[in-house]
């Protein structure tokens, strides 16, 4: 009904290293994704968001980019990516890339140049400051990783540079027009190859306070952000993206804010900033009827009229929903995924959600991530033996695996596939309005569009909704 594809879409996040390994080197790769397109088509998802595929020394597993235009060799080549785009297209599936504009790797040639001297050509691509006379940092900003200052001493020139994350992830200075131009070019490079859009890393905090003023103590750890200017950069990107030839493209922001009012502002007037802004208040809501109804209603209320919500429950940074929200209980997992897929808005599945994959307790000696996020990044178990040869992270339990669940009509996977198919077929579910319905305690019920009703019993008691009995932790599309 004239809606752009990304509104009705189910997106599927691929954490490439752990998705599928085509050459048995223990690391997932682009060919692995090509090999699994049949599976993804069978599941019914519309687009794949790939976590960073570009060259990186992997201090933060791809989120420290050393070359924005080349593929990390372990993942394959540009040809492989082009082939993935083409082969996905044959199945009416799009590829969205992760873009990391907040910072580069310290190995990026821009920083190699910048750090060498105060007059270097790219010096002003980054944020520099003099230390205080006693050698300390210029303000109270603290980095998200580790518990130290967000400033690192650079011996070549005696100044400090800003890093919101690791010292090896150097913040770019988004006040600099040249930086803006560089990223316009990077975006065009990928858009010209048929990429359907970008998930924007750290989209809420791109532009820093120009005067480098302290942050209020309550905002720690963190850096002071100039939000108005961050919105201005988003408007620039939106204009670029919406100006593309052909099919609409999409910008999905990683907007890590915990207030819905703050989230709403990343949509601007509803059509001039981000197309989609990740809703962390929803992600972190408990799996309870009142809490979910409340955050969902408030989301619809607070977003500007033409804005479109996006719902997500897991990603590569947070504990998997199957464990965090559902304690591993298959009934609860189905309820949570039913809600995710039947709300008005774009739905994002993280790889493994569809089989109820649980957080893995990775032994200390096998941890690879500087922030210990490995447990949500472990490989997908494709078969009862996992289907991996010596994967880079341990597999964890393979009791829930893709092959087994494909055969089992009662599985989480078959349930998810059915709901995705229902969503595809139903105009109500794709785009109809949301309205909460009065329901017994513990039950969350809503109407979508004209006549589609979803009722989910998020309680340990049997319940009934409009004459339909609901077992504990049972949800249904009525
Ligand atoms: C958010 C990404 O999702 C996370 O994995 C990364 O560590 C930080 N941004 C820094 O890029």
pLDDT of residue 406: 98
The pLDDT, as a whole number, for residue 116 is: 98
Does ligand 1 have an atom closer than 6 angstroms to the CB of 280? Answer: no
d(C-alpha 50, C-alpha 256), whole Å: 19
Are 305 and 427 members of one domain?
yes
Ligand 1 neighbourhood includes 15 CB (under 6 angstroms):
no
Q: Which residue among the candidates 147, 177, 245, 261 is catalytic per the annotation?
A: 245
The 3-state DSSP class for residue 253 equals strand
Residue 454 within any structural domain of the chain: yes
Distance from the alpha carbon of residue 201 to the mean position of ligand 1, in angstroms = 6
For residue 60 and ligand 1, the question of a CB distance below 6 A is answered with yes
Q: How far is the CA of 51 from the centre of ligand 1 (A)?
A: 10
Shared domain for 343 and 463, answered yes or no, is no
First-last CA distance in the chain: 23
Q: How far is the CA of 368 from the centre of ligand 1 (A)?
A: 15
- Number of residues in the chain: 478
pLDDT at 2: 80
297: annotated active-site residue: no
- Comparing CA positions, the residue from 5, 95, 113 lying closest to residue 51 is 95
Q: In terms of domains, do 333 and 225 share one?
A: yes
Q: Which two tokens stand for residue 161?
A: 């540079």
Q: Give the pLDDT confidence of 46-77 residue by residue, as tens digits.
A: 999 999 999 999 999 999 999 999 999 999 99
Return the CATH number at 465.
Answer: 2.60.40.1180
Q: Give this prediction's pTM.
A: 0.98
Please report whether residue 274 resides in a domain.
yes
Ligand 1 proximity of 58 Cβ (cutoff 6 Å) = no
Tokens of 150: 């967000």
User: Would the CB of 313 count as within 6 Å of ligand 1?
Assistant: no
Same domain, 55 and 196: yes
Task: Indicate whether 289 and 390 sit together in one domain.
Answer: yes
Ligand 1 centroid–CA 339 distance in Å is: 26
Both 415 and 441 in a single domain?
no
| Paired tokens of 178 | 């040249």
Beta carbon of 200 within 6 Å of any ligand 1 atom = no
- Which CATH number does the domain housing residue 270 bear? 3.20.20.80
Is the model's pLDDT at 190 over the cut of 70?
yes
Which residue is closest in CA terms to ligand 1's atom 10?
63
Instruction: Tell me if 328 is assigned to some domain.
Output: yes
Are both 456 and 335 inside the same structural domain?
no
Q: Is residue 130 part of a domain?
A: no
Supply the DSSP string of 170-208, one letter for each residue. EEB-TT-HHHHHHHHHHHHHHHHTT--EEEETTTTS-SB
In a domain, 165, yes or no: no
* 58 within a domain of the structure (yes/no): yes
Query: Could you tell me the distance, in angstroms and rounded to a whole number, from the CA of residue 218 to the centre of ligand 1?
Result: 22
Q: Which of ligand 1's atoms lies nearest the C-alpha of 51?
A: 3
Minimal-distance CA residue to ligand 1 atom 3: 317
Q: What percent of the chain has pLDDT over 90?
A: 98
pLDDT band at 218 (very low <50, low <70, confident <90, very high): confident
Rounded mean pLDDT of 155-169?
Answer: 98
Query: CB of 202 closer than 6 A to ligand 1?
Result: yes
Q: Render pLDDT for 108-149 as a digit per residue (tens, 0 to 9).
A: 999 999 999 999 999 999 999 999 999 999 999 999 998 899
Identify whether residues 370 and 449 lie together within a single domain: no
pLDDT of residue 146: 84
One domain for residues 274 and 359: yes
pLDDT at 1: 53
457 lies in which domain range? Answer: 433-478
The pLDDT mean for the chain works out to 97
Work out the angle at residue 57's Cα, subtended by the Cα atoms of residues 11 and 78, and round it to the nearest 5 degrees. 55
Q: Are residues 404 and 448 in the same domain?
A: no
Contact 138, 131 (CB under 8 A): yes
DSSP code of residue 126:
B
Is the CB of residue 145 below 6 angstroms from any atom belonging to ligand 1? no
Q: How many domains does the chain have?
A: 2
Tell me whether residue 201 is one of the annotated catalytic residues. yes
pLDDT at 31 over 60: yes
* Mean local confidence (pLDDT), 343-350: 98
- Tell whether 438 and 457 lie within a shared domain: yes
Give a yes or no: residue 191 inside a domain.
Answer: yes
Q: Verify that 428 and 447 share a domain, yes or no.
A: no
116 found inside a domain? no
Q: How many whole angstroms from 62 Cα to the centroid of ligand 1?
A: 9
């Amino acid at each position: 009904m004239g809606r752009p594809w990304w509104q009705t879409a189910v997106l599927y996040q691929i954490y490439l290293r752990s998705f599928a390994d085509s050459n048995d080197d223990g690391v997932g790769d682009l060919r692995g994704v090509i090999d699994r397109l049949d599976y993804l088509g069978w599941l019914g998802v519309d687009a794949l968001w790939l976590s960073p595929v570009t060259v990186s020394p992997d201090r933060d597993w791809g989120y420290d980019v050393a070359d924005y235009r080349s593929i990390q060799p372990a993942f394959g080549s540009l040809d492989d990516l082009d082939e993935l785009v083409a082969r996905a297209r044959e199945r009416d599936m799009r590829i969205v890339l992760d873009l990391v504009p907040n910072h580069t790797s310290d190995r990026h040639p821009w920083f190699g140049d910048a750090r060498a001297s105060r007059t270097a050509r790219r010096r002003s691509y980054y944020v520099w400051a003099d230390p205080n006379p006693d050698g300390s940092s210029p303000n109270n900003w603290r980095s998200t990783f580790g518990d130290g200052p967000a400033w690192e001493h650079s011996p070549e020139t005696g100044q400090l540079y800003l890093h919101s994350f690791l010292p090896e992830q150097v913040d770019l200075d988004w006040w600099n027009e040249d930086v803006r131009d560089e990223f316009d070019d990077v975006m065009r490079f990928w858009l010209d190859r048929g990429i359907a859009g970008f998930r924007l890393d750290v989209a809420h905090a791109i532009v820093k306070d120009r005067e480098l003023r302290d942050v209020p103590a309550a905002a720690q750890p963190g850096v002071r952000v100039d939000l108005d200017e961050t919105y201005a950069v988003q408007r620039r990107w939106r204009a670029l993206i919406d100006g593309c030839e052909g099919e609409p493209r999409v910008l999905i922001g990683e907007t890590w804010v915990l207030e819905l009012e703050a989230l709403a502002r990343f949509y601007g007037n509803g059509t001039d900033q981000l197309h989609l802004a990740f809703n962390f208040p929803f992600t972190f809501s408990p799996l309870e009827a009142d809490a979910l109804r409340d955050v969902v209603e408030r989301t619809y209320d607070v977003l500007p009229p033409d804005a479109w919500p996006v719902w997500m429950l897991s990603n590569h940074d947070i504990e998997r929903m199957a464990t965090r929200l559902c304690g591993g209980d298959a009934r609860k997992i189905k309820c949570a995924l039913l809600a995710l897929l039947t709300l008005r808005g774009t739905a994002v599945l993280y790889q493994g959600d569809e089989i109820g994959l649980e957080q893995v307790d990775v032994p200390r000696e096998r941890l690879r991530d500087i922030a210990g996020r490995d447990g949500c990044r472990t490989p997908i178990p494709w078969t009862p033996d996992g289907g991996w040869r010596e994967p880079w992270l341990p597999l964890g339990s393979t009791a829930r695996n893709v092959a087994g669940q494909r055969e089992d009509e009662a599985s989480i996977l078959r349930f998810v596939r059915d709901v995705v198919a229902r969503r595809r077929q139903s105009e109500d579910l794709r785009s109809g309005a949301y309205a909460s319905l009065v329901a017994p305690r513990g039950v969350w019920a809503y109407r979508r569009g004209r006549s589609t009703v979803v009722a989910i019993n998020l309680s340990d008691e049997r319940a009934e909704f409009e004459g339909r009995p609901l077992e504990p932790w049972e949800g249904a599309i009525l």
